[in-house]
Chains A and B, each alone.
Chain A
Amino acid sequence: MDTDKVLEELKGIMVERLKFEPSRLPDLSLATVLPKDMEGSLGLDSLDFIELSIGIEERFGFVIDEAQDLEAHFQSLGTLAEYIKSRLADR
């Protein structure tokens, strides 16, 4: 799966699970920062990250690896897409 496809899937999760307004989807890019309290971020809080991680597991069919430093992977849509791609490649 290429990066653009992963990004589209992530946008779908944002709308379905995080109740993200579909009209804002064009604003999202790989550079979009996720955690709240960061410059220009989407403002995701701890509950959003729970939803996002469960959504990723369901959509992509893998369990997010607890042994890894997950915070770095969830910093932006770009880092998240790369993480998902690497997990898919490992299968």
Chain B
Amino acid sequence: MLGLRVAARMTSSLDEAGPRWYAHAYNRPNFYRFAAALSWVPRRLRLALARRIGRLAPSFMPTERAAIQKAMTRFTGATGARLDTLTVRVFTDFAMCFSDLVSTNRQLAAHRLSHVGHVEGLERLASLSGGLISLTAHVGNWELAGRLLAGRSARPTHVVVAPDEARELERWVRRDGEGVRFVSRSRPTVSLELLAALRRGEVVGVQGDRALGTKGDVEISFFGRPARFPLGPFRLSSAVGVPLLPAFCLLDAHYRYVVKIAEPFTAARGEEEAAAHTWVAALEAIVREYPTQWFNFFDIWEPFGQ
């Protein structure tokens, strides 16, 4: 799912209960159905409609609007009218990416590729053989990035997803196929499957921008303030000795996608936290460049309402 999910910590002890995740009130099948029903509309028109809906969204989502305003202030330093513009832009950008998620992303690979303008750093992927961890975030159309990379890497890709996604939404956002397989974190032993996949030389795709609210999180400065990030991808990397490859898929000014693959790096045993810092620096660079494609509609610095 691209974004509208928020975490709330319900107890004072993370180890006792962890965070309770809940879907946003608008995260309902009818919205997906509506968006999917517009798949036949020419993309240009469909995205124009998405922008229109996105412009209205902040009025109905005051909590999310406030969280985005805080993020935009941190990311850009904007205030006043410019801050308002950027805030609305996040919702319109999200609406376009969401529209593509349930339509363009589901098209055949060749058709999907026609919406990709440029792939930056592809040679970095090509230079890697064997298992690797593709690291991304809720920025732009990450799901499309995963599918494109799976096609390019010619290796099975296991995409790790949150366990509590509403089941009825799966048909739109978790479609296995074309080398991509979605793996839920619902069972803690899933990490054994992922270790095995990496050892077979396959790809594990994971998002590294949302803390889990467990002891597996680490606090790292993000745009000058401490935020919590998951340590799991880096532990996985150090356990198997495979590289981590940050990858993002952003919408450009002409509504085509730009795929950006950053420099791969490794997490040495005992150096997982340092590797997490490297990742957060890469994430910060992308968010600085594309602030309005930050699709975490909650307070990243206080995700559990601390």
Contacts and interface: CB of A to CB of B under 8 A. Distances in A.
Contacts of B193: 70-71
Interface string A24-51: 0000000000011100000111111111
B181 to A, nearest CB: 15
B233 to A, nearest CB: 11
Interface residues of B, number: 22
A49 B239 contact: no
Contacts of A51: 235
Given A46-B216, A50-B236, A36 B192 contact: no
A66 interface: yes
B199 interface: yes
B185 interface: yes
Contact of B196 (A35, A45, A70): A70
A54 interface: yes
- The main secondary structure of chain B at its interface with chain A is helix
Contact of B235 (A50, A64, A71): A50
A47 B234 CA distance: 10
B191 to A, nearest CB: 4
B196 A44 contact: no
B27 interface: no
26 contacts: A37-B188, A43-B15, A45-B188, A45-B215, A45-B216, A46-B188, A46-B191, A46-B232, A47-B232, A47-B235, A48-B188, A50-B191, A50-B192, A50-B235, A50-B239, A51-B235, A64-B196, A66-B195, A66-B196, A66-B199, A70-B189, A70-B192, A70-B193, A71-B187, A71-B193, A74-B189
